[in-house]
Amino acid sequence: MPASMDYLKRKWKNNKIKIIFNSLTSSPVSLEKSFEIYARYNLKQPQFKTPLSCTPITKKEEQEWHKWLNERGYTHFYYAHVEAQSSNKFEFKISFPKKDIRTDRYLTKYWLWMSYPTILKQLKKCESLPPS
């Protein structure tokens, strides 16, 4: 269960709301492997700057973030589309596709560096999927 969904389930369980979690990958994604790949593509470049930031991320900041996640037992993450809708009662649904919708499972290139046409192409791909 994604931590964010567990939180919503606990906080909203007494509300008339339907929460639908649609994963974009067939299974959770490994944080460890993602960190390795993300570092290879993003952190080892000279003068790397984090999105919406003026200064390069430091090795210490990166390590502190990993430590914080580790201490809380976070080992995986999810790419998902989450909907919250009015309902007659509390409902909660999680679904995973048979095949990955998001084919770039690991954080290779940060989405803020994607071109506008690439973002539109990704959104069109999502729109073409059948409703869950």
Distances (CA, A) of 28 to 19, 55, 84, 129: 19, 31, 21, 20
- Report DSSP letters for 37-104, one per residue: HHIIIIITSTT---TT-SSPPPHHHHHHHHHHHHHTT--EE--EEEEEEE-SS-EEEEE--SS-SSS-
Find residue 91's DSSP bridge partners. 18
pLDDT at 68 over 70: yes
Q: If pLDDT is split at 50, 70 and 90, which confidence band does 38 have? A: confident
Q: Which residue has the higher pLDDT, 81 or 115?
A: 81
Tell me the pLDDT tens digit for each residue of 90-105.
Answer: 999 999 999 998 877 7
Global pTM value: 0.65
- Ranges of each domain in the chain: 1-28+78-101, 30-77+106-132
Percentage of residues in the chain having pLDDT higher than 90: 35
